[in-house]
Amino acid sequence: MTNPVVHITNLNLHYAGQPVLRDLDWRIYPGENWVIGGKSGSGKSSLAKAIVKQEKVSGDIHLRFTAGLTLPPVAYYVANWYQFTNLEGDRNFYYQQRYNKHQQHDTLTVYADLIHFGQKHQLDFHDAEPILEALGFDNCRETQLIELSSGEHKKVQLVQALWLKPQILILDEPYTGLDRQSRRQLNVILDRLAAEGVSLILITNDNDIPASINRFAEIADGKINVVADIAAMAQDQERRPKPFPYFLQKAPTADSDTIAELRDVSVRYGEKTVLKNVSWRVRKGEKWLLQGPNGSGKSTLLSLLNGDHPQAYANEIWLFGRKRGSGESIWDIKEKIGIISPELHWYFDKHATVWHAIASGFYDSIGWFLNVKYEEKKKIEQLLDFFDLLEDKDKLLHTLPLGKQRLALLARTIVKNPPLLILDEPCQGLDRSQTTHFNAVVDELSAYGKTLIYVGHYESQLPSCLDRRLVLEKGEVILNERHTFLTT
């Protein structure tokens, strides 16, 4: 009888006094490649970390590696977020730091980071080059880690894992932030690794998965539940419709018919051009989709609008009827903008409760603040009720399931009813039900006179309200059109 590659028996894990995994048994046999999906917060990541001994559990986990393979006899886990450090080994970064030229060189370049990884695992860099090229990442070698977008950070993680070729490879949300072409190429490489003998475990609710995936499971009530396919996996319950808080049913005040305008804008870092001669006008009430491959300049463009990028003053940029640099402060700009992004989520204060996270939207901060007014407290309570977060309001934001974290950050984004909403890939890592719920809220919210810029790669995962599209490629506008999107 064939021995299992992974043999787990009686696995138990408690978190904050609550059971997450309970007497879990699971066997993975040679030739099996798994997708683990299901409800947010069910324990998928905890199980993955337990397999590679990054989570303290009770029970038995036995890994059986095959002798004679050229593949390293290790189980390697790729986390949802890339936890890089600065040159001193510190992870204490702040949100705007990636745009601060005085601190950009505080982290390694992509090339230096990969060289360090290769030396640690005795790998030849020539074997990494085809992976860099396949993922469209070979032109980022000299880019500082802190300058990368969330999708580019994911590519750093993937290049390392695919280069290593471990006998057991566990990828937690491997498609987070990746553009369509990069997802396709990733699946091609994963199929190739599976053919070479790598056992794959993917934690994802994505339908576009490698052809080599032949087993599916979810975690339900702390145990592994084998299912036929991704469609059979449990989803979070559909949310009961509620009336929108009254203060959000009013059109926000805007002093100009033009919310934002960029005129022939360019951004450069030394010899590297990130944006080139970009012109774009966003009028009051418009609903824009912003698209483009990883590294096309989307994040930089949004940072110019949000007041975070210092090169905004070197370009002709108009916000809410005023030219940047004409006397307004950065807080005057942020007061009129609500934003959610993977970077803001990643840098968010780990000590913030759900209540404090939402309240921080009034002050455009991601840290602590004082003197929340009575009227503001009432709005926070209304949003907590609307998003079904009342029971979670005193919990630390980062301890909640990802879906609830994103809803809390959406509440933070809209709590001051700003004229402009910038939602940068807000549904990363959410399952189909959560994505549908999130975008339904965005559609309803947009009906009350909001101006929207929404970043998303897949038309099937977008709000239906979007009717205009701007597409970037290599820092240039290649498409600016009015369009009707199919969201089925």
Report the pLDDT averaged over residues 263-286.
Answer: 91
Report the pLDDT averaged over residues 439-468.
Answer: 89
For residue range 138-149, what is the model confidence (pLDDT) as tens digits? 888 888 888 888
Q: Would you place residue 367 in the very low, low, confident or very high pLDDT band (cuts 50, 70, 90)?
A: low
Q: Would you place residue 406 in the very low, low, confident or very high pLDDT band (cuts 50, 70, 90)?
A: confident
The region that residue 76 occupies, defined by phi over 0 for left and psi between -120 and 50 for alpha, beta otherwise, is beta
Report the pLDDT averaged over residues 148-159.
Answer: 91
Q: What is the pLDDT of residue 105?
A: 58
Q: Is the predicted pLDDT of residue 246 greater than 50, yes or no?
A: yes
- The domains found in the chain, sorted by start residue, are 6-232 (3.40.50.300), 246-482 (3.40.50.300)
Q: What is the pLDDT of residue 284?
A: 93
Q: What is the pLDDT of residue 95?
A: 44
Q: Is the predicted pLDDT of residue 96 greater than 50, yes or no?
A: no
Report the pLDDT averaged over residues 433-454.
Answer: 89
For residue range 34-49, what is the model confidence (pLDDT) as tens digits? 999 878 888 999 999 9
For residue range 68-93, what is the model confidence (pLDDT) as tens digits? 888 999 999 999 877 655 554 444 44
Contact 155, 163 (CB under 8 A): no
Mapping DSSP to helix (H, G, I), strand (E, B) and coil, where does residue 77 land? Answer: strand
Q: The tokens of 260 are what? A: 């934002």
Across the beta sheet with 337-340, the strand order is 337-340, 420-424, 451-455, 287-291, 468-473, 476-482
Q: What is the pLDDT of residue 93?
A: 46
Q: Would you place residue 484 in the very low, low, confident or very high pLDDT band (cuts 50, 70, 90)?
A: low
Report the pLDDT averaged over residues 326-348.
Answer: 83
Contact 197, 71 (CB under 8 A): yes
d(CA 1, CA 262): 67
Q: What is the pLDDT of residue 335?
A: 87
Mapping DSSP to helix (H, G, I), strand (E, B) and coil, where does residue 24 land? Answer: strand
